[in-house]
A and B are shown apart, each in its own frame.
Chain A
Amino acid sequence: MEALIAVLVGVLFAAGTYSLMRRSIVKLVIGVILISQGANLLVFTAGGLLAGRPAFVPSDGTVPPAPYGDPLPQAMVLTAIVIGFGLTAFLLALVARAHEAVGDDDINAFNKTDT
């Protein structure tokens, strides 16, 4: 299972990087989204994958029965997803406004602030 998800993380990073390199600013946004999902999945996998072992404490005990899935990476990924969601919303709004102001979807038209 880990190997499969590792490949998936790689594919997400590769596809994201490819999209980032394209000239369209919309594809730029797609690239950022793909890469950030890849990172989320990476964190999730790095914490260890255990199917069907939630960290629930049984009613007659004080610790969950080992082995149990570590809940912390899931909390981290959840935080990262929420932050990523907010940032993506902002980025989309920014792209829309920038597209209005520049009048072009091509990143090469965004050269006014360049050197």
Chain B
Amino acid sequence: MSELSILLPILIPLIGALFLLMGHSSLAVQKAGGVFFSAVTFVASLYLLFAADAAGYVVLQVGNWSAPFGISLVADRFSAVMVAVSSFMGASVAIYALSEIDESRLRRFFFPLYLILMFGVNGAFLTGDLFNLFVWFEVMLIASFVLMSMGGERAELEGGMKYVCLNLLSSVMFLAGAGIIYGKTGTLNMADIAQNLQASPDSDWMISSSMLLLVSFGLKAGIFPFFFWLPASYHTPPSTVSAIFAGLLTKVGVYALFRAYTLMFAPIFPEVQPIILFLAVMTMITGVFGAASHFDMRRILSFHIVSQIGYMVLGLAFMTPLAIAAAIFYLVHHIIVKTNLFLISGVVIRLKGSSDLAKVGGLCKSAPWLAFLFFIPAFSLGGIPPLSGFWAKFAIVKAGLEVEAWISITAALLVGVLTLYSMTKIWAEAFWKAQPDEQATVASKHPGPLAYMVIPIAVMSASTVLIGLFGAPMFEFSERAAAQLMNPQEYISAVLTTKGEVQP
């Protein structure tokens, strides 16, 4: 039965997408099906989360071929929680899409593509095979390319070009790295690669391919100096699309970095640690400065994705159990908060017709409920106690103090202050100041009622508060997940000892 739990979060979106492709003539079917299948995926992902937490590892050898000959699907606690949070975002944003996505996009297969995106994201989290990970990345990217540029307006096409070209380059790097690894180890199963590398007397020959993968995953995650496509493209599509991209896509890159450096490249990690540490600190700093220099809500938020990715990679760079646990907690917190902020920027656009901070204002008076809902994720991102972001940052800083990485910690705290500064800027400009008179605001037309936008935002804000108030169980879970990541031997034996029926 537990094998089924790992398949469901992958199969349900696929079945949903195929079903919606067949029922493409009816808009009602598209809308109801999109929400229904996303919601069922979320339920299935919770089932997987409980199964993985209880058993430690859920392993499925696809086609009953024993590892490393077949493709293994592996869910440890880390990948299970990523699947659960992503599917949570998928279900919430699908409801939001009902209100924002217009008929022409629905007719161009918005929901099937959306489900294919979820299919790719969940598959990338669950696979235990390097080349299979490449394929999942491509599934996810193809869906995201179309979602990004389907509107056909100039900004979308320009942003789409930059996004597509750089992501294609990243895929090429990934393929080259995976090919070299295969040439050297003769296997693509991540557990088997890790075992090969541990057994090898001189593992330095792995550094070249590990660097290729670092560049590839770094491009996808948006770390310094590969992040330029992100703020150039994420603010162009509808808020529904930027929200789901902001929440999920870069995090898949971060997940892949974690998987690569805690499992496959664990023996050579000390040699690349200074590089990752440097990249993490630079990512935090450049991201937050970019955000500080901007005056458009969605552009500010895009740059904040970059800066926050830095914190997670910093957790990886410290590589202590506490730091990894903190980074996992940070990932969960960040996915929820960042998706929520992008959704809120969509409501601001709906009410005021723009997300340019110079043109909007007075939202505190005209929509106090929105101000309240914005306050929670924004100041959680800034790290104000007792919201979830405070505990995430606190844990990262504490882990840094333990390894005495003074420079990184100083940078992290400074970046925290600057994050708070740009959140305050949005707050002061969009919500606090009076509506600028010279700009008569036109509320933009949306096909659905406002309630569909507010419900997901309220749910996510509530979960941010809950994670903040009851952070202990969540953090204990992160510690259990981190313990698994810090001990790759468990993962290797879980994958390699689960036998399929077919023995070559």
Q: How far is the CA of A68 from the CA of B367 in the complex (A)?
A: 71
B236–A113 CB distance below 8 A: yes
Contact of B161 among A20, A25, A72, A76 (CB under 8 A): A25
Q: Per-residue CB proximity of B148-171 to A under 8 Å, as 1/0? A: 010011110111111011001101
Within 179-198 of B, Cβ neighbours of A (below 8 Å) are at 179-180, 182-184, 186, 188
Residues in A with CB closer than 8 Å to B483 are none
CB closest residue in chain B, given A79: B135
CB closest residue in chain B, given A101: B154
Q: How far is the CA of A45 from the CA of B180 in the complex (A)?
A: 9
CB closest residue in chain B, given A91: B164
B142–A42 CB distance below 8 A: no
B178–A112 CB distance below 8 A: no
A47–B157 CB distance below 8 A: no
Check A83/B135 contact, CB under 8 A, given A39-B179, A98-B158, A112-B158.
yes
List 7 tightest A-B contacts by C-beta distance, closest first. A46-B183, A43-B179, A98-B157, A101-B154, A39-B176, A39-B172, A46-B179
Query: Is A73's beta carbon under 8 Å from chain B?
Result: yes
Contact of B182 among A20, A40, A47, A91 (CB under 8 A): A47
CB closest residue in chain A, given B186: A70
Contact of B176 among A43, A95, A101 (CB under 8 A): A43
Residues in B with CB closer than 8 Å to A98 are 157-158, 160-161
A47–B183 CB distance below 8 A: yes
Q: Per-residue CB proximity of B130-143 to A under 8 Å, as 1/0? A: 01001100100110
B179–A73 CB distance below 8 A: yes
Residues in B with CB closer than 8 Å to A110 are 158, 161-162
Residues in A with CB closer than 8 Å to B168 are 32, 36, 87, 91
Residues in A with CB closer than 8 Å to B186 are 70
Interchain residue pairs with CB less than 8 A apart (30) = A20-B165, A32-B168, A32-B169, A35-B172, A39-B172, A42-B176, A43-B175, A43-B178, A46-B179, A47-B182, A70-B186, A79-B135, A80-B134, A86-B142, A87-B142, A87-B145, A87-B164, A91-B164, A91-B165, A94-B160, A95-B161, A97-B152, A98-B161, A101-B153, A101-B157, A102-B157, A110-B158, A112-B154, A112-B158, A113-B155
A84: min CB distance to chain B, Å:
8
What's the tally of chain B residues with a CB closer than 8 Å to chain A?
A: 45
Residues in B with CB closer than 8 Å to A90 are 142, 145-146, 164
Residues in B with CB closer than 8 Å to A44 are 179
Query: Is B299's beta carbon under 8 Å from chain A?
Result: yes
Contact of B180 among A46, A72, A114 (CB under 8 A): A46
A94–B183 CB distance below 8 A: no
Q: How far is the CA of A25 from the CA of B158 in the complex (A)?
A: 11
Interface of B is mostly: helix
Contact of B179 among A76, A91, A115 (CB under 8 A): A76
B151: min CB distance to chain A, Å:
11
A115–B232 CB distance below 8 A: yes
Residues in B with CB closer than 8 Å to A101 are 152-154, 157-158
Q: How far is the CA of A73 from the CA of B180 in the complex (A)?
A: 10
A-B interface contact total, Cβ < 8 Å: 116
Residues in B with CB closer than 8 Å to A20 are 165, 169
Query: Is B233's beta carbon under 8 Å from chain A?
Result: yes
Query: Is A48's beta carbon under 8 Å from chain B?
Result: yes
Interface residue tally of chain A, by bracket?
A: 35 or more
Residues in A with CB closer than 8 Å to B480 are none
Q: Per-residue CB proximity of A18-35 to B under 8 Å, as 1/0? A: 001000010010001001
Query: Is B34's beta carbon under 8 Å from chain A?
Result: no
A80–B175 CB distance below 8 A: yes
Contact of B159 among A47, A95, A113 (CB under 8 A): A113
Contact of A76 among B152, B154, B182 (CB under 8 A): B182
CB closest residue in chain B, given A83: B138
Apart from A72-B182, A83-B135, A101-B153, 9 more pairs, CB < 8 Å: A36-B171, A40-B175, A76-B179, A79-B131, A83-B138, A90-B146, A101-B152, A110-B158, A113-B233
Residues in B with CB closer than 8 Å to A114 are 232
Check A94/B179 contact, CB under 8 A, given A32-B169, A35-B169, A102-B154.
no
A44: min CB distance to chain B, Å:
8
Residues in A with CB closer than 8 Å to B142 are 86-87, 90
Query: Is B24's beta carbon under 8 Å from chain A?
Result: no
CB closest residue in chain A, given B168: A32
Residues in B with CB closer than 8 Å to A115 are 231-232, 290, 293-294, 299
Residues in A with CB closer than 8 Å to B159 are 113
A46–B154 CB distance below 8 A: no
Residues in B with CB closer than 8 Å to A102 are 154, 157-158
Q: Per-residue CB proximity of A41-80 to B under 8 Å, as 1/0? A: 0111111100000000000000000000010110010011
